[in-house]
Structure 1
């Protein structure tokens, strides 16, 4: 019976430690979040930004030779470029 009580106390202490760790890590992540208003104020709002839509490009892959000496022909693939923001001063 004493072993069972000790086990319950140990599990309770471990749970409390994990809960405290999660609370402190979430507070640290919230403090480290970027402040968008400060960055805009630091540049004086003189940057001109626009969003470039995502787009496809064709990419050529050169012919290759494998370890047996056989040549594999080149080929085209389509590559997707995600949308992104571009800023100019």
Structure 2
């Protein structure tokens, strides 16, 4: 438990940052699920539109340290390959 004023403030900041990071991570995962759903349905136009939004969200999250850049690149590559295969 935080006792000093400084440690109490750091605890508040850490919790706020944790919630913000969780929100960004959840949003990016939701966009990935939308792309996967469109691919499963076989709808190429919807998949491409969802892919653009997902790539933007994943890149922003990677730039903020939410995801590792290699993980983002791997997801983008695999999703793009699935869309091209439609």
Normalising by the smaller structure, the TM-score range is 0.3 to 0.5
Tell which structure's C-alpha radius of gyration is larger: 1
Q: TM-score, normalised by structure 1?
A: 0.38
By percentage of residues, which structure has more strand?
A: 1
Q: TM-score, normalised by structure 2?
A: 0.39
By percentage of residues, which structure has more helix?
A: 2
